[in-house]
């Protein structure tokens, strides 16, 4: 099969490795000539170009650009594609993307492989990145059965765990488990920075260990990514933040009231609930 990849970063480059190793012919497009050359040298694509017309021959195209570029790039891309080409994207927010693309391209299904790493770019691309990781597809009532079948087969071949849902359900789910944690964790770092006694702040910095390390990790990450989550998933993230604030206030009240029985029971229930998410 001839498969096109638009955007040769971590996700696009990793897709290329796996698809080539299955015998597909992989056509890559990047805005930068140097990235095209590097992707070919690394063997992540068979051929790469800065010219979107290269993708005219592809049966399926994966759009793997940063989220803000997905729709603008698709708007250019469609001038090069026959109507039969199936298009999918890998953006981490789905409702606004799907809403904008559906009127532009009939043969489209939204997707989101949850397989990021802290690194980015073609050099960070790796074989088998998607194995055992969730990969969400978000068809709606207009999605052609054939487009769904083609993308589903490719996703399964990557070894990913496939989930189907509506774009809005996806965005709500990731607001809880991916976007909310970033704001929760960033608020922790910001709060600690606010300690006004320099001796206590220095001591806190010296004593911080694994608990602080883990809880603060995603809040100390890429600020562009955090910003993108807030911009593209604003409404779901705000709902999640309000739910979070309500629970935080409950903890504060229990501690203020010295209601140790209910504090313990609330802590116990979070301990019991966590394995449903992470095991």
Q: Is 214 in the site for a second copy (CB under 8 A)?
A: yes
Q: Shortest distance, CB of residue 270 to a second copy, whole angstroms?
A: 4
Nearer to a second copy, 43 or 243 (CB): 243
- Reading the block at residue 73, the tokens are 């790039």
Segment near a second copy (CB under 8 A); pick from 16-24, 61-69, 73-81, 218-226: 218-226
Kindly identify the residues of this chain, within the stretch 16-45, that bind a second copy according to CB under 8 A.
none
Q: Is 257 in the site for a second copy (CB under 8 A)?
A: no
Nearer to a second copy, 103 or 275 (CB): 275
Nearer to a second copy, 53 or 262 (CB): 262
Q: Is 219 in the site for a second copy (CB under 8 A)?
A: yes
Burial of 196 (0-12, 13-18, 19+ CB in 10 A): exposed
Nearer to a second copy, 49 or 215 (CB): 215
- Reading the block at residue 52, the tokens are 């979107």
- Reading the block at residue 156, the tokens are 């399964």
- Reading the block at residue 96, the tokens are 């606004």
| Secondary structure E strands in 64-220 | 86-89, 108-113, 134-138, 161-164
Q: What is d(CA 183, CA 178) in angstroms, rounded to the nearest whole number?
A: 10
Q: Shortest distance, CB of residue 237 to a second copy, whole angstroms?
A: 6
Q: What is d(CA 44, CA 37) in angstroms, rounded to the nearest whole number?
A: 10
What is the longest distance spanned by two Cα atoms in the chain? 68
Kindly identify the residues of this chain, within the stretch 173-202, that bind a second copy according to CB under 8 A.
173-174, 176-178, 180-195, 197, 199-200
Q: Shortest distance, CB of residue 227 to a second copy, whole angstroms?
A: 5
Kindly identify the residues of this chain, within the stretch 102-121, that bind a second copy according to CB under 8 A.
114
Kindly identify the residues of this chain, within the stretch 43-62, that bind a second copy according to CB under 8 A.
none
Q: Are 112 and 138 a contacting pair, CB within 8 Å?
A: yes
The H or E element spanning position 151 is: helix 145-157
Burial of 23 (0-12, 13-18, 19+ CB in 10 A): exposed
Nearer to a second copy, 144 or 181 (CB): 181
Which of 67, 136, 150, 154: binder of a second copy (CB under 8 A)? 136
Q: Shortest distance, CB of residue 199 to a second copy, whole angstroms?
A: 6
Q: Is 69 in the site for a second copy (CB under 8 A)?
A: no
Q: Is 215 in the site for a second copy (CB under 8 A)?
A: yes
For tokens 């702040």, the residue is 201
Segment near a second copy (CB under 8 A); pick from 35-43, 65-73, 123-131, 249-257: 249-257
Nearer to a second copy, 128 or 187 (CB): 187
Pairing verdict, β 108-113 and 47-49: unpaired
Q: Shortest distance, CB of residue 146 to a second copy, whole angstroms?
A: 25
Q: Is 140 in the site for a second copy (CB under 8 A)?
A: no
Q: Is 131 in the site for a second copy (CB under 8 A)?
A: no
Pairing verdict, β 134-138 and 108-113: antiparallel
Beta carbons within 8 Å of 196's beta carbon, 6+ residues apart: none
- Reading the block at residue 6, the tokens are 């638009």
């Amino acid at each position: 099969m001839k498969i096109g990849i638009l955007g040769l970063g971590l996700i696009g480059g990793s897709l290329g490795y796996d698809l080539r190793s299955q015998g597909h012919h992989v056509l890559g497009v990047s805005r930068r000539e140097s990235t095209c050359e590097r992707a070919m040298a690394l063997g992540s694509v068979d051929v790469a170009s800065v010219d979107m017309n290269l993708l005219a021959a592809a049966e399926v195209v994966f759009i793997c650009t940063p989220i803000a570029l997905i729709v603008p790039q698709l708007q250019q891309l469609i001038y090069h594609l026959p109507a039969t080409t199936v298009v999918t994207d890998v953006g981490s927010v789905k409702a606004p993307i799907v809403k904008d693309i559906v009127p532009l391209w009939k043969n489209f299904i939204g997707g989101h492989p949850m397989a990021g790493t802290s690194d980015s770019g073609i050099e960070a691309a790796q074989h088998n990145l998607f194995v055992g990781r969730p990969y969400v597809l978000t068809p709606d009532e207009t999605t052609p059965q054939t487009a769904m079948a083609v993308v589903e087969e490719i996703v399964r071949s990557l070894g990913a765990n496939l989930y189907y849902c509506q774009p809005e359900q996806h965005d709500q789910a990731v607001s809880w488990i991916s976007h909310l944690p970033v704001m929760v964790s960033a608020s922790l770092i910001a709060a600690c920075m606010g300690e006004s006694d320099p001796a206590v702040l220095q001591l806190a910095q010296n004593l911080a260990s694994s608990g602080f390390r883990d809880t603060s990790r995603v809040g100390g990450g890429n600020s562009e990514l955090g910003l993108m989550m807030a911009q593209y998933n604003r409404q779901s993230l705000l709902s999640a933040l309000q739910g979070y604030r309500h629970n935080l206030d409950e903890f504060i009240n229990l501690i203020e009231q010295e209601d140790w029985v209910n504090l313990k029971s609330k802590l116990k229930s979070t301990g019991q609930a966590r394995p449903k998410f992470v095991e």
